Structure 1
Amino acid sequence: MTPRSTQILSVQILRAVAALLVVMHHAQAEAAALAQRTGAAFAPSGLLPWAGGVDVFFVISGFIIVHAAAPHAVGRHAAQSGGGRRRFLAHRIARVVPLYWLVTALYLAVGLAAPSALNGSGGPPDAGQVVASFLFWPAARPDGAVLPLYGLGWTLNCEMAFYALFALGLGWGRRAGVAWLVAALVGIVLAGAWLKPGAVPLAFWSNPVMLEFGLGAVIALARGEGVRLGGPARAGLALAGFGLLLLVARTGPFPDGFLRPLALGIPAAFLVAAAALGRSRTQARPPSPVVSALAALGDASYALYLVHPFVLRGLREALARIDLALWLGPWVALGVMVALSVVAALLVHRHVERPMTRLARARLDPDRHSLPRPKTV
């Protein structure tokens, strides 16, 4: 969560775009499954590397954590008070854990009640895998994949490791804190590439994709130091980022290893810099309805990321069983699935995520009343 005054509208909109990229990636897989069952022709779009929405999220997360934590956690007064780390971690836990635990429990319940409704993972989970999933601890599933019970949670395992590293540098000042964070991320990734650790958690945390958090942190440092770009420069960065993503989509398999932060992290950083480094302006009039809607979806992007697989899978099964899939066609069905995923996310964000987050913060941060009124980030 972050104070309203630290929110940047363009970054919120970019969060919505990143979430929609991931939704499109999974929706196309569900539409392809529908097409296969109905005999319809369907070729997924290769316009963009849709799964690269995760990389945009990682860069945004690196930016938001440094940007939003600065008033209470990064400054030296946090070190003097001794509460910076505790408050930061309390806020992150309250923000991330409740909804993730809820969807993980729901996924486990559905998997036990109707295993055929979910993608297989090599067999039923054991107790160790369930505990590791709830504790954000990287562990191998029965099929060998290093994924939590709810597969999307691998990104949150990365987030939690990033939060832990960031918390260690709190109270050192913005520059030193970001320098520590970037050095730690680079050191861990290079050590993993050199040592090739056999322990699953160490191998997971040294994945080069972790470097993308550092890119966002550097952008936040630049903004904190007063760097601002004019409209043409920001437009150039946005076009360069989008153009590179178009190019990546046409170059072959989805990038992995060190190629991923280069091929996807750099374009994502261009987009985040374009969104984050604008000059502050007094809002003379309310934003347009489209901008307001995208910003609202940005607020709900975490809910959209976590709940959309349930909506997509449920609609796929419903459309197939009532014979609507053949009548609609796979692309129309895909549009319906994406639209209802957005609606579901907005409802979950408003009626489930926000109340749970407020309750968790009330329990974890007894000094919350001394802070500005927060808004979800």
Structure 2
Amino acid sequence: MSTNREWVNWAIGRIEADFHRSADTHLIPLPVPALPDIAIYLKDESSHPTGSLKHRLARSLFLYGLCNGWICERTAIVEASSGSTAVSEAYFARMLGLRFIAVVPRSTAQAKLDAIAFYGGECHFVDRPCEIYDAAQSLADELDGHYIDQFTFAERATDWRSNNNIAESIFAQMEREPHPVPRWIVCGAGTGGTSATIGRFARYNRFDTRVCVADPEGSVFHRHWQDRSIERVDHSAGCIEGIGRQRVEPSFLPDVIDRMEAVPDVCSIAAAHEVSQRLGRRCGGSTGTNVWACAKIAAEMAERGWKGSIVSILCDDGARYSDTIFDSAWLAARGLDIMPQQKKIAHFFETGTFAAE
């Protein structure tokens, strides 16, 4: 056995041991008393060791790279990320004693940059989000390292049939609920890996569950879902970190998605504020995007007299956004008045109805 093979065996063992030390994440009911026949739940991915849904992805990407022979004992790891994936990958890189460099937009929330540094990672900044891909590949080539490339490998690094992926976890936790098979699962898309995993898992197990992707209004994904010829948008995808892209990522699989909801940033932020108040702790903007779409779906189900459950994702801890979406000066500087939309989502929670735009 080569020295490198011995190290790879050790590295895989370290990651698997970390996994076995971790409990599953909670499934939290989000009550809407006016809708007694419709139950909404949030899968709380903020409780992972690195605080976000991306912890699952980072673990899968490292195992994928190790088993493919791409990551060795002294390989420098490079990633293109808006923050949360880089935080989680920095955690695993430190665990294995590997150098980690995150290529991030300058606009990335400071709390995420601090978290990357906390786990021993370095940040390489670019001015525009669209520059992260080429910059990451160039840096990996320069260092003779490995560009881990979440945007390409997210949908294939995760075992969508089982292995405690997020879909398997959701369905297992729902088994004793009044409506154990969700009518809808709502998630965002940054790489597209989560929607691909959930959509494939539901089809593979023949569940009558539909997948809705809640997408920032400025993102390309919902445009591509409607018209496959649209593969890029020139303007910014918006200010909701972690979801929405300017280009269609290789891991985004539109054919496993049943519905897409384009959500304006102001609505996402308003919903994040409202849900944070109702949970008693802050959640991020991507969670707000998800909840806005959940509210629309739940209200439609009620109008049709349908019963059932909706499951979505609490993606990360809102403490990471104290200097952005939870900062009144930051909102004012961007002309974002969230109060009208927060009243609208609060009205949904109180009455079960969701007024049309």
Asked if Structure 1 and Structure 2 have the same fold, meaning a TM-score greater than 0.5 normalized by the shorter chain, the answer is: no
Q: TM-score, length-normalised on structure 2?
A: 0.24
**By percentage of residues, which structure has more strand?**
2
Q: TM-score, length-normalised on structure 1?
A: 0.23
**By percentage of residues, which structure has more helix?**
1
